[in-house]
Structures are given as structure tokens and as C-alpha cells.
Amino acid sequence: MKIVRKLVPYGKKKILANLMQASGANLALLGLPSWSGLLVVNYHRIGSRESCPFDGNLYSATSERLEIQLRQYKRYGDVVSVDDLDEVVAGKPGKHILITFDDGYRDNYDLAFPVLKQVGVPATFFIATGFIDQPHVAWWDEIAWIIRNANVPALPVSRWFEQGLEISPDDPRPAIARAVGTYWALRGNATAEFMDDLASQAGTGRCGPELACDLWMTWDMVREVADAGIDIGGHTVTHPILARQDLTRQREEIFGSRQRLEAQLGKAPKAFSYPVGQPDMFTEETKQLVHEAGYQYAFSFYGQYESMVAIDRFNIPRCAVDFDLSPAIFQSRLTLPQVFARK
């Protein structure tokens, strides 16, 4: 079946997905070779985001929704592990689906792990080792916490925010998104200065380590999920935007995380995922360092799926599973990732 690949705006994509679901087109495509290759889906946090004091956008699904989605993956394709990728990349035909989770949040162990075992599908947990070794609130969660708890209605004009930063008490999400976007662009040690200034101007101070209590998995938990068959991959030590760091720092982050995982698990990881993973957040030099560290595969995070026509083993695309992802788009993504796995 020849499928036309074209970019579709989200609004039109949602309409198309609803039509496909209502018409039964998804069921009709279920048994047809509508695509072949590798669809990699990515989750972050699992659970209810309403009571989260940090960045609620990190939540991908409740445990109940996750179970539904995992069962759909099994129905629509062949759910594979990292160890299966050699065959897939070599050209094994089929609809292959790889399930990934980033960062190492505790809810991945408490909520996602039991569901993965219950449904019986493999998955990969990409771990930022520094959050386990020295538990602290990650920079994106700390930005959200600072803005949510700000004692002022706006941050002043500064080198970070040329027009200041308004903070709506009813909906702080736009301010959080803008502050996170600012952080993404910062190079080297400017990130630490930004966080200090943000906390000072908001009147909150920085997050203490006590706020990270039970936020991350422990090494015992990581070993348990690994022993149960979950693939463990590298995700740096402290989760910086790699392309904004010099090559020395990138090497420390990439090699250091792999060495720590091997020391704790007795097995070197085969796969790595770039923090945030947008196209400008890793470079060809970054990819080369990942290769030199001994990784066989590396994953980005800006949508699309891999058709295996001209695969780059160190830039395998992943698409996000968002908390508000409609069931129609989710299902259509599994039948036509050429359209629905793209941003």
C-alpha cells in the first residue's frame, strides 16, 4: 500500500484521526501493510498531574491509560526491545514498536513497571544517573516550582527576559514554558546563573534536596527492573542540553553515565537518548561521542518514525505520548505513523 507522506497541521490531523476512528479505517488498516519500520514512543512521568508541584507537562499518562495504550501496541504491532534492534535495523519487515521512558522518575517504577509486567511488553528506561546518585530536583521541575510559588506577579526586565516575565496566578504554564525555553538556549555555566537569578527574582529561593525525596528511582529499583527484562539506557549524568556544552563536558556526561550504569548493573547499556532531543540539542560531534562511548543506538525526540530507508543509528526518532493525546490520534499513529507520528 502506497502512503502519501505530508505534513498535516495538528487541527487537521485531529479531524482526520477522528474520521479514521469513526469510519473504521484504523481497523481496516490493522491487518494491512500500511507501514513497515520502527515506531519509537516516549513517556516521562506516569500518574495524576493535578497535585504535582513541578512540571505537569512531564506527565504522559495515568497508569490506567498506560495499560490501554500498551495493549494497543501489542495489537497493532510487534513490541520490541533494544536487543531486537539489530534484526529490525537489518531490514526485518513488520510494524515494530519500541516503548521508552526518560529520566528515571520513581513513578516509572511504582506505576509503569507493574503495568508493563502485567501486559507483558518490553520497554526501555533511559536513566540520568546523577538524579539517583545525588537526588535533587531537575532543572525543568525547579523552574516550574519557582514560577508556581513566585511571590511576585512578574519578573523584571533582565538579560534573561528582555520584556520581563508575567506570571498568571490562574495559569502559570505560559511563564513556565517561556522560562524553560530560555534555559534551553543557555550555554555552559550560564544555566546556573539563570536558575539563581530566577529564584531570587521570584522570591522563592532554590529547591532544597528534601523536595526530591521519593522523586527518583533508587539503584536497587533500577536493578530490579533490569533483572525483570527492562532495558536500561543512558541519558547523561545531569541532563544538560548537550549541544550547549563544550566537548569536554559532553564527554563527561555521555561517558560518565554509561560507566555508572555498567558499574551498578554489571552490564553496559546499548542505547542512549539525548536530553530533550530536539534537532538543535545535539550535534554531529555529540553523536560521535555517543558512538565512542560504546553505545550502538541513540534516540532523538522530535517526532516521526523510522522507515529504515536510510537509518542513522545515532538519531533514531521518537514521538511523544502526551497526557492530552486524544485516543483517535493515538490509534491513528499506530496505523499511519507516516502522518500521525510527525509533529
High-pLDDT (> 90) share of the chain, %: 87
Query: What does the pLDDT average to over 334-339?
Result: 93
- 130 and 52 in a single domain? The answer is yes
Tell me if 225 is assigned to some domain: yes
Q: Which residue has the higher pLDDT, 279 or 14?
A: 279
Q: Residue 323 has which C-alpha cell?
A: 497526557
Grid coordinates standing for 24? Answer: 473504521
- pLDDT tens for each residue of 40-89: 999 999 999 988 999 999 999 999 999 999 999 999 999 999 999 999 99
Does residue 280 sit within a domain?
yes
pLDDT at res. 51: 85
Q: Among the three residues 207, 240, 255, which one is the final residue of a domain in this structure?
A: 207
Q: How far apart are the two ends of the chain, measured CA to CA in Å?
A: 23
The count of structural domains within the chain is 2
For residue 140, the 8-state DSSP code is H
Q: Are 204 and 149 in contact (CB under 8 A)?
A: yes
Domain carrying residue 25: 10-134+219-340
8 pLDDT band (50/70/90 cuts)? low
- Structural domain ending residue among the three candidates 156, 183, 207: 207
pLDDT reported for residue 17:
85
Residue 103 forms beta bridges with which residues? 127
Distances (CA, A) of 239 to 22, 71, 93, 139, 236: 42, 31, 35, 9, 6
In a domain, 5, yes or no: no
Check which CATH number belongs to the domain holding 275 and give it.
Answer: 3.20.20.370
Whether pLDDT at 226 is above 80: yes
**Pairing state between β 165-166 and 154-155:** antiparallel
pLDDT at 5 over 50: no
Residue 2 lies in a domain: no
Residue 343: band (very low, low, confident or very high) from pLDDT cuts 50, 70, 90: confident
Instruction: Please give the pLDDT value at position 24.
Output: 87
Total-model pTM: 0.94
Whether residue 275 sits in one domain with residue 127 = yes
98 domain-assigned: yes
